Structure 1
């Protein structure tokens, strides 16, 4: 059966002599694997289609599920600048790998596609990558059913002043100091960072403007979101390790 989809290349790997297999996050067909014959050979007309972060129209044959075989394709957005910049490439790889690990094969819904597309566009436009990724992570958590509870204490359900709240990555939300005994390692969080997390929970990446966040707040948000992601999703991503190395050397 012939399929025509709009998709984003979230993974590309060599296969056999001169071939490649790409994984697409599509708008209406979920996550799809497609074999691209001859893509690695010189002068291949499909060489550009297998590049990570590429957005395009893909036409492929597939029978009864499984791997498809590309027939033709047309690029609508190459995102070439993302591959030329080390930092942008690192964050883009993380966004794609995270979605690849969370999204099940052929899980439908345009939400995943739209959020990734918006994330890559924002990174290419030069918006603060740490903030972009934190908003993206929040959208991933929410869509996967792990969105944190940020308004009331996850234990007693009471609303407290922001300066009396902690954040519990293990319990998945804010914790008042009266309930801290339920999770002694709960993290301190500043009212400013908590307000931004609430904003991230309400924002849609497709409508994100410029968000000005101070360096110390960005660092706090990164630590909090990393802890929440680790506890709630428990993923170990190669791209995250690379981002950690960039942080280590202040790149």
Structure 2
């Protein structure tokens, strides 16, 4: 078929020539893919409202040699509230960058789509972004097959019972004290931080407003998740750099985002 329909959220867009845009989207039907929106940058374009980052839209696509192009676009949910607040739109951009980093083109996953959609919705309506983002990170890692081991040593399989625990990104989870001594990049955390992370895996996103987490543990959890994700992505995310500059701290978990 020369045309087909997808229901997708726009992860990012970039200009191509004067009036065209290349979008990276994540759809229910096809997962992540790049598509072309011809003329979308024109002020009077009918596609303009549906192709903005973080919009959930229905696209009718026409197959092309390299990239498929949008023939029709209908906005379904614009998450307008995101664009009224710098913290919210930064949080949305961070989630979108993680989606781009941890998903492969042409591999649809309904659970990942639902997670991303729910995350954008909760951030837009004013849920505290900090724990929503930590839960998004945790669940996205889980759906990507990268959920860390939080009960036993990732090196020797010993059960971890200590109050202070060590985490090894390369080993994919906790380390016992003996194995941590052999790993230069092992990080030390409070047991409470690990218990909070376990809770994030168990709870639905809509319950997280009930979770009261001290700032110190928020910061530890942020450090743990950022280190683990950057290890797998093999790079630092652009949005975390912006968060650090915006809030004049290297721990964005201690702020509203």
Superposed pair shares fold, TM > 0.5: yes
Q: Distance in 2 between matches of 1:143 and 1:182?
A: 30
Superposed CA offset, 1:163-200 (max 9, x none): 15322223221112233223244222112211011122
**Is this contact kept in 1: 2:154–2:174, CA < 8 A?**
yes
Deviation at residue 80 of structure 1 after TM alignment: 1.5
Aligned to 1:149: 149
Structure 2 match to 1:139 = 139
Single out whichever of 140-149 and 76-85 deviates more from structure 2: 140-149
Aligned to 2:47: 46
**1:152 to partner: Cα distance:** 1.0
Structure 2 Cα separation of the partners of residues 77 and 123 of structure 1: 14
Tell me the equivalent position of 1:59: 60
TM-score normalised by L of structure 1: 0.91
For the residues of structure 1 that align with 2:154 and 2:28, how far apart are their CA atoms?
34
- The answer for unaligned runs of 5 or more in structure 1 is none
Distance (whole Å) between structure 2 residues aligned to residue 155 and residue 246 of structure 1: 38
* Aligned equivalent of 1:241: 241
Q: Show the counterpart of 1:201.
A: 201
**CA separation of 1:62/1:203 partners in 2, compared to 1, >3 Å: closer, same or farther?**
farther
* 1:30 matched to 2:31: yes
CA contact (8 A) 1:164 1:176 kept: no
Deviation at 1:125, TM superposition (A): 2.1
Question: What root-mean-square deviation, in Å, do the aligned CA atoms of Structure 1 and Structure 2 show?
Answer: 2.0
In 1: Cα distance, 2:27 partner to 2:157 partner: 39
User: Which sections of structure 2, spanning at least 5 residues, go unmatched?
Assistant: 250-254
Shift of 1:246: 2.1
1:56-95, aligned counterparts within 5 Å?
56-63=57-64, 66-95=66-95
Partner-residue secondary structure (3-state), 2:163:
helix
State the distance in 2 between where 1:231 and 1:36 align. Answer: 34
Q: Is the 8 A contact 1:172 1:232 kept in 2?
A: no
Instruction: Give secondary structure in 2 for the equivalent of 1:76.
Output: strand
Consecutive aligned runs of 4 or more in structure 1 exceeding 4 Å deviation: none
**Cα offset, 1:232, TM superposition:** 2.8
Q: Give the count of matched residue pairs.
A: 249
Q: Which residue of 2 aligns with 1:212?
A: 212
- Distance apart, 1:47 and its partner CA: 1.0
User: Residues 123-174 of structure 1, C-alpha deviation per residue, up to 9 Å, x if partnerless?
Assistant: 1122221211111111222223221100111123222324153222232211
Structure-2 separation of matches of 1:247 and 1:229: 21
Query: How many Å separate the matches in 1 of 2:47 and 2:41?
Result: 8
